[in-house]
Amino acid sequence: MIGTIVGARVAGAGRELLPDDGPVDVFLDDGVIADIAPTGALKSAGDVLDADGAWLIPGLWDHHVHVVQWALVAQREALGHATSAAHAASIMGSAPVLSDGRRVGTGFRDALWPDTPTLAVLDEATGDVPTYLINADVHSVWLNSAALRREAMPIDATGVLREAPAFEISRRLNAVDPVEGDRLVAAMARDAASRGVVGLIDLDMAWNEDAWTRRLGAGFDTLQVEFGIYPEFLDRAIAEGLSSGDVARGAASDLARVGSLKVITDGSLGTRTAACSHAYPGDPHNHGLLTVDPATLTDLMTRATGAGLSCAIHAIGDVANSHALDAFATTGAWGTIEHAQLVAHADIPRFARLGIAASVQPEHAIDDRDMTDTIWVGQTALPYALRSFADTGANLRFGSDAPVSPLDPWAAMAAAIYRTRDGRAPWRLEQGVDAATALAASTRGGSTAGARIEVGAAADLALCAENPLTASETGLRAMSVTATLLGGRLTHGG
Q: CATH code at 254?
A: 3.20.20.140
Neighbouring C-alpha atoms within 13 Å toward the C-beta of 248 = 25
269 and 146 in a single domain? The answer is no
**In the structure, what pLDDT confidence band is assigned to residue 208 with cuts at 50, 70 and 90?**
very high
Domain assignment of residue 404, yes or no: yes
What contacts 489, CB < 8 A, 6 or more positions away?
1, 2, 31, 221
Question: What's the mean pLDDT in 316-321?
Answer: 98
**In the structure, what pLDDT confidence band is assigned to residue 12 with cuts at 50, 70 and 90?**
confident
Encode burial over 73-107: b for 16+ CB neighbours within 10 A, e otherwise: beebbebeebebbbbbbbbbbebeebeeebbbbbb
427 and 318 in a single domain? The answer is yes
Phi then psi for residue 168, to 5 deg, are -65, -40
Average pLDDT, the chain: 97
191 and 271 in a single domain? The answer is yes
Domain assignment of residue 73, yes or no: no
State which amino acid sits at residue 485.
Answer: L
Give 244-272 pLDDT, tens digit per residue.
999 999 999 999 999 999 999 999 999 99
Tell me what pLDDT residue 61 has: 98
Phi then psi for residue 310, to 5 deg, are -75, 170
Give 332-368 pLDDT, tens digit per residue.
999 999 999 999 999 999 999 999 999 999 999 999 9
**Which CATH number is 99's domain given?**
3.10.310.70
Tell me what pLDDT residue 19 has: 86
327 and 344 in a single domain? The answer is yes
Decide if pLDDT at 21 tops 90. no
Domain assignment of residue 403, yes or no: yes
423 and 487 in a single domain? The answer is no
Angle at 173 between CA 102 and CA 237, to 5 degrees: 165
Partners of 382 in the β-ladder: 343
Domain assignment of residue 124, yes or no: yes
Give 383-398 pLDDT, tens digit per residue.
999 999 999 999 999 9
216 and 319 in a single domain? The answer is yes
Question: What's the mean pLDDT in 402-430?
Answer: 98
Angle at 194 between CA 191 and CA 200, to 5 degrees: 65
**Which CATH number is 472's domain given?**
2.30.40.10
Phi then psi for residue 24, to 5 deg, are -130, 160
328 and 314 in a single domain? The answer is yes
Partners of 258 in the β-ladder: 227
Neighbours of 112 (CB within 10 A): 11
Question: What's the mean pLDDT in 199-204?
Answer: 98
Q: What percent of the chain has pLDDT over 90?
A: 99
CA distance 125 to 114: 18
Encode burial over 321-359: b for 16+ CB neighbours within 10 A, e otherwise: bbbbbbbbeebebbbbbbbbbbbbeebbebbbebebbbb
344 and 467 in a single domain? The answer is no
From residue 234, alpha-carbon distances to 15, 206, 268, 296 in Å are 42, 12, 24, 13
From residue 380, alpha-carbon distances to 20, 219, 383 in Å are 47, 50, 9
Question: What's the mean pLDDT in 305-315?
Answer: 98
- Asked if residues 269 and 109 have their Cβ atoms less than 8 Å apart, the reply is no
344 and 490 in a single domain? The answer is no
State which amino acid sits at residue 282.
Answer: G
Domain assignment of residue 72, yes or no: no
265 and 381 in a single domain? The answer is yes
Give 55-87 pLDDT, tens digit per residue.
999 999 999 999 999 999 999 999 999 999 999
From residue 299, alpha-carbon distances to 207, 227, 319 in Å are 21, 21, 18
Q: What is the 3-state secondary structure (H, E, C) of the chain?
A: CEEEEEEEEECCCCHHHCCCCCCEEEEEECCEEEEEEECCCCCCCCEEEECCCCEEEECEEEEEECHHHHHHHHHCEECCCCCCHHHHHHHHHCCCCCCCCCEEEEEECCCCCCCCCCHHHHHHHHCCCCEEEEECCCCEEEECHHHHHHCCCCCCCCCEEECHHHHHHHHHHHCCCHHHHHHHHHHHHHHHHCCCEEEEEECCCCCHHHHHHHHHHCCCCCCEEEEEECHHHHHHHHHCCCCCCCECCCCCCCCEEEEEEEEECECCCCCCCCCCCCCECCECCCCCCECCCHHHHHHHHHHHHHCCCCEEEEECCHHHHHHHHHHHHHHCCCEEEEECCEECHHHHHHHHHHCCEEEECHHHHHHCHHHHHHHCCCCCCEECCHHHHHHCCCCEEECCCECCCCCCHHHHHHHHHHCCCCCCCCCCHHHCCCHHHHHHHCCCCCCCCCCCCCCCCECCEEEECCCCCCCCHHHHHCCCEEEEEECCEEEEEC
Domain assignment of residue 288, yes or no: yes
Instruction: Provide the domain limits for residue 269.
Output: 62-67+179-450
354 and 486 in a single domain? The answer is no
Tell me what pLDDT residue 235 has: 98
- Asked if residues 207 and 228 have their Cβ atoms less than 8 Å apart, the reply is no
pTM: 0.96
Decide if pLDDT at 494 tops 80. no
Select from 132, 156, 174 the last residue of a domain.
174
- Asked if residues 106 and 76 have their Cβ atoms less than 8 Å apart, the reply is yes
Count of the separate structural domains present in the chain? 3
Give 427-476 pLDDT, tens digit per residue.
999 999 999 999 999 999 999 999 999 999 999 999 999 999 999 999 99
End-to-end CA distance of the chain: 11
